[in-house]
Amino acid sequence: MNPDFAIVLNFKLKSVENIDADFLVKTARNIGARAISTNNENSVFKKACKKYTIALVNEKNGSELTADNVINTMVENRKNGKNTVINIVVAENDKFDKTTTDMLDIINNWMHMFGHAFNEGKPSKIAVDQDGFVLENRHANYQKYVFLRNPLPEEIIVSGIEKEPNRVEWIENRVDLKFNYQDKKLAIKLIEPDDKFEWQVLRIQAHRPEDDIVKTKF
C-alpha cells in the first residue's frame, strides 16, 4: 500500500442498496484520509474515489476506535511506519452514530492542522529526549517533524541533526521557536501552542536546494 495512506476508512455498510458513495468518500477526503475500503467495492465507489482523488484499497481488518483513543492510536502506528485502518459502520440511511461522528470530528480537527506531516512522514533515526518521536518527509527529507505528547516540557533536545537548520516552528500557525545547535544536537525552547492537542507537531526546516537560487533583479 502507498505509504502516504496514513489513514484508511473502512466503511462497513449495513445495506448495499442506494449507497451515497459520494458522501462517504467526501467524508474521508475532508478529514485527511487518502484511502478507503468497503465491503461493497462497486463502480459507484470507484467513480467517487476518482472524483475526490481517494484510493480504493482492499483493507478489511480495521480497528474499532473512539474519540478517546483514535489520535493516539494513529500516532503510535505512524511512529512504527504503519497505517491505521478505522472501521466506520454506515447505517442504511448513510448516517453515522454519535460515537462515530465524534471520532471523525476529532480526526478532522487534528488532521486539519498536522495532516501533511502525518501522511507524508516516515520513521527517522533522529531522536528526541522527551515523550515523542521524529518523522521525516519522504518526499522532501529537509523537513523533519517532531511529534510531542502533552503535557509539553520547556525544552527538548533533538539528536542526530547533521547541520544547523534554517528554521524551527510549530506547524500550528507557523510560530517560530528559539533553538541552539551544537555537536549535532538541537536544543529547542518550547512555548505553549494556541490549541491543546493530545499530540503537537513542530517542523525542523533544513537548508533547501531552492535556498541557493539567486533572485534575479530587474
Strand pairing class (179-182; 185-189): antiparallel
Beta pairing class for 7-13 and 35-38: parallel
Bond from prior residue into 165 cis (ω within 30 degrees of 0): no
Show the domains of the chain with their CATH numbers: 7-121 (no CATH), 124-212 (2.60.40.1180)
Q: Which 3 state secondary structure label does DSSP give 53?
A: coil
Position 44: which residue type? V
Instruction: Give the pairing type, strands 55-56 and 35-38.
Output: parallel
pLDDT of residue 154: 96
Going residue by residue through the chain, which has 218 residues, state the pLDDT in tens, using 9 for 90 and above. Answer: 678 899 999 999 988 778 899 999 999 999 999 999 998 767 889 999 999 999 999 887 899 999 999 999 999 999 999 999 999 999 877 789 999 999 999 999 999 999 999 999 999 999 999 899 999 999 998 999 999 999 999 999 999 999 999 999 999 999 999 999 999 999 999 999 988 899 999 999 987 666 656 565 65
Contacts of residue 155, defined as CB under 8 A and 6 or more positions apart, other chains included, come to 187, 188, 189, 190
Query: Of 65, 86, 185, 61, nearest to 126 (Cα)?
Result: 185
Q: Is residue 208 within 8 Å of 142, Cβ to Cβ?
A: yes
CA distance 132 to 134: 7
Q: What are phi and psi of 203, to 5 degrees?
A: -115, 135
**Beta strands at 7-13 and 84-90: parallel, antiparallel or unpaired:** parallel
**pLDDT at residue 124, as a whole number:** 94
